[in-house]
Amino acid sequence: MLLASRRQVSNVLLASLAIIACGLQACENDLQKIKAISAMQSSLPVDTTRGVDVIYSDSAIVKGRLLTPLLIKYSTAKPYDVMPQGVKVISFDKLGKEDGNIVADSAVQLETENITRFYKNVIVTTGDGTTFRTEELIWDQPKKTFFSTKPFEMVRPNGDITQGIDFKSDDKLEHAVWKSGTADLEVPENQTQ
């Protein structure tokens, strides 16, 4: 009888050890699954906001305003924001008067570099009335420059029209340079002789 009860205890111990081993194996698999899911979710949006209206100011002076119907924030090693349903950025002068704006069908803002890439139907309007159109424009805010490798058209208030590619300028469009282009310029009569 003692031998039978030792066998039963032995069988119970073996069964218990098997169950514990299976449980530990299941925990290991669960940890691997959690790690895999976590890795997949690190590329998912962290925050989605609708109806965004952001005011940028410095020393209590409003410098700019960003409007977009949808802003998706991604928290990666280099965080970025996506505005897939359109964007408008308005800049203001020191007196709070609108000094220009940028409108585009979509944009991506690279947070650490402070660079914004505008895509599709990009229109920049400056305070003096200059209008710049292209399909892609990159705005480097720290350097205060615009550049684009796509075809562009710039119309000045006096009617001068410039078209070309490989555009670079300050963010007021005052000192523009480009490669390969054409221009339709108005020359005053006294300068034609």
pLDDT for position 136: 94
Residues in the chain: 193
The domain ranges of the chain are 1-41, 47-184
Please give the pLDDT value at position 37: 52
Residue 4, classed as helix, strand or coil, is helix
- pLDDT score, position 64: 85
Q: Using CA of residue 52, residue 57, residue 62, residue 64, what is the dihedral sign?
A: negative
- Under 8 Å between Cβ of 176 and 168: yes
From residue 162, alpha-carbon distances to 8, 100, 144, 166 in Å are 94, 19, 21, 13
CA distance 122 to 147: 12
The pLDDT value given to residue 106: 94
Mean pLDDT, each 10-residue run in order, the chain (193 residues) = 48 53 52 55 71 84 89 88 93 87 94 92 92 93 91 90 88 82 62 53
What the block records as the tokens of 154 is: 């710039």
Looking at residue 175, its pLDDT comes to 83
At 103, give phi and psi (nearest 5°): -125, 140
Architecture field, domain 47-184: Sandwich (2.60)
Name the CA dihedral angle for 109, 140, 117, 52, rounded to a multiple of 10 degrees: 40
Query: In a 3-state reduction of DSSP, which class is residue 43?
Result: coil
Note the pTM of the prediction, 2 decimals: 0.71
pLDDT of residue 9: 47
Q: What secondary structure does DSSP assign to 102-157, as a single string?
A: EEESEEEEETTTTEEEEEEEEEEEETT--EEEEEEEEEETTTTEEEESS-EEEE-T
Dist CA 93 CA 96 (whole Å): 5
Phi, psi of 53 (to 5 degrees): -140, 100
